[in-house]
Amino acid sequence: MRIDPVHLRRAEEILIGGEEFDDERRKFIQHMDTVDLLAVPGSGKTTALLAKLYCMTKQMPFENNQGILVLSHTNHAIEEIGKVLKPLCPQLFSYPNFVGTLQSFANKFVANQACFELYGSYIHKNDDEMYSYEVETLFRNLQYSAKGVNPPNLKNKLFGLVNRGFEGSSAEKNDNILEFLKKCTYDLEERKIKIGNTSKLTYSGANRDYYIELERWKLSLLSQGILCFRDSFDISKRYLNRQGSQDLRAILQHRFKYVFIDEMQDLDFDQVQFIENIFFTNDSDTIIQRIGDKNQAIYSTSSLSSESVWTTRNEIDPERFKEDLSLNNSHRLTPIIGNLVDGFVLNRNDGYRVIGASNHESIPPYLLIYKDDTDASKLNEKFINIIKHFGLEKNPKNVERGFHIIAWTTDKEEGSEKWHLRKLFPEYSREKKQKREDFDCLRKYIFLFDRQKQTFEAVRKSLLNGIIRVLRIENINFAENPPKKFRKSTFIQLLKSKGDDCYKSFKVRLYEWCYSIVVNEDYEAVFNDYSSFIANDLSDLIPGFRIASSVAFINKVFEFKIAKIVEPNAITQPGDPLISLGSVHSVKGQTHCATMYVETDYHSSEIEKLTVFVKGTKKRPDFIGKNPLFFQEQDFSHLDKVRSNETLKMMYVGFSRPTDLLCFAVREESVKTDIHKFRESGWTIVKVSE
């Protein structure tokens, strides 16, 4: 296939106002073979992909009615593609094409059938939050065996295995076991428990009983269709490795002639292998184009701390794949900010650079220095003053892009000594930013529903989820042989089985709760009646039900802050621009007018981690590394780079958001000996307390 110049010109008119794509983007749009595209922040990669998809769709149907598969890591990226292209080429969103997240593709085409054939149930819950609850339930029900008992119980065995060599309190060691159980994977073919991609912990011989106990628990979840996100790819791998699976591969390869994977850097190792296992085989004719930026790999823990789980085609097989494509020109960043961001590049393939190509006024970056959390209001005030000084709030386009305060660490337990966003800005609430179905207390089901919905649907669903959560905590099943957990549908089925009067009475009560929440915002009154229904009425509906294990969950305090509903995670004063609060993760992919990155503590502060890594080591005490904060290309190659890698990637993403103004807010104690270095390298210094 060749891209029709007429269609490309039309795409330029629609997507970039009639201007022409630069040579970098045009080369990618017209490239129709398997290739990887490495794109810097603000380079217009998404627009280029949209143009390519538009042109290709205009040339459909393809030979043999083959289709296009478009995948991304997040729903947000898929929604952006749909918002632009659905009105222009709706056929892209119907058979034989598929546009969706990698998770949705895996579930729809492989994992759902795999779960049924391997474990007897279609997927019911594919959610890390619910899986974490199941882990906590398992752990809570385990008992330590008495001292000297042989063989020891599973809890004792886990305590020893997970905490070997760890010095800490009993509570910390219990937390380690919980984290282990949440993160480990189960190789049910070789009957091993695996941590990460290489390290394996295996139960064998005398320990076999302990492995079997965990394996039975895992299989019981799978047989109920309860999966964490990672499980979808684990069971898909097992299914695809079975004899006869080549038929499924052949079907998928025949259906999808072209596969595009956006935000490739956000995939985990098992997700990369999942796609390769299906489409990148010796006999496959499918063309795969993977698009992203290795330096923005901040979603996966493994990719954040390691080099990258994404190795390009050219890196693996340069004879077959002569080049990777790249987009180096950032149309978002000004030259001065582009130069600063380029210093944070961790993975630099040949020819890869961040080049600020925006023609906006080159405002130097600002270093805002504050003393402690009492300076928070001044910090926000100074940020707004700088915005006003350059008149940024007067441009409607700037207001649309927004003014943002972001941080790596947004929340910590109450009383924590660590610095986080909410410590400086109590208005911030991580949960308000998320559309979730499950929470850690009953009150949140009344308040933290999806308020974007214009009907009672979202709050109704949330209230039913709260009831189901209590039933799960109390370990109440809908059926016992085999045991099946309650779902919203089976709970409604139970009500109907009690007669029309019972079902109609509950519907009226549910409607009244929804009305009081949405219209009257009478959260406390609803909670009192809602919790009373659960405590008293459910026992009449479900024999044997009583409140026991869920007491803490039901009674846990959560403050209903009505004033924060309309503009959650935002701060403003009359006449001032609206300032949005969020994590670096939450703004990835966004373009801001102005961004203030606030130094926080993830293990330690960003400044401390970068500073430690430029002071040298015992082996090379004379080494003076290059610090990207001083407009230098980083050089930490002589050290164990786990923490520096994390910091470079997080700051690379955060610093590359704004079109106009970048501010970095730091504690005075972090920079008091280096202020002159910041000033000399090009930063404008502002002490907020002065």
Residues paired with residue 665 on neighbouring β-strands, in sequence order: 368, 598
pLDDT (0 to 100) of residue 448: 83
Share of the chain above pLDDT 70, in %: 87
pLDDT (0 to 100) of residue 637: 54
pLDDT (0 to 100) of residue 365: 97
Distance CA 79, CA 101 (A): 10
Q: Residues 646, 634: contact at Cβ < 8 Å?
A: no
Place of tokens 């791998």: 237
Residue 381 tokens read as 């005030």
Which are the contacts of 662, defined by CB distance < 8 A and separation ≥ 6?
337, 340, 363, 365, 366, 594, 595, 597, 655
Which are the contacts of 389, defined by CB distance < 8 A and separation ≥ 6?
none
Indicate yes or no: pTM above 0.85: no
pLDDT (0 to 100) of residue 389: 95
pLDDT (0 to 100) of residue 455: 75
For domain 366-428+569-687, give the CATH number.
3.40.50
Q: What residue ranges of the chain have pLDDT lower than 70?
A: 148-151, 195-210, 243-244, 300-308, 412-417, 427-437, 451-454, 561-574, 612-625, 635-641
pLDDT (0 to 100) of residue 420: 80
Q: Provide the 3-class DSSP secondary structure of residue 582.
A: strand
pLDDT (0 to 100) of residue 509: 93
Burial of 492 (0-12, 13-18, 19+ CB in 10 A): middle
Domain ranges of the chain: 5-111+240-327, 125-223, 366-428+569-687, 432-564
pLDDT (0 to 100) of residue 127: 84
Residue 194 tokens read as 């695996």
Q: Is the peptide bond before 41 cis (omega within 30 degrees of 0)?
A: no
Q: Do 5-111+240-327 and 366-428+569-687 come out as alike in CATH topology?
A: yes
Architecture category of domain 5-111+240-327 in CATH:
3-Layer(aba) Sandwich (3.40)
pLDDT (0 to 100) of residue 562: 42
pLDDT (0 to 100) of residue 85: 96
Place of tokens 């959390």: 373
pLDDT (0 to 100) of residue 128: 84
Helix (H) or strand (E) holding 67: strand 67-72
CA separation (Å) from 242 to 107, 186, 216, 228?
17, 17, 22, 22
pLDDT (0 to 100) of residue 141: 85
pLDDT (0 to 100) of residue 168: 78
The count of other CB atoms within 10 Å of the CB of residue 656 is 29
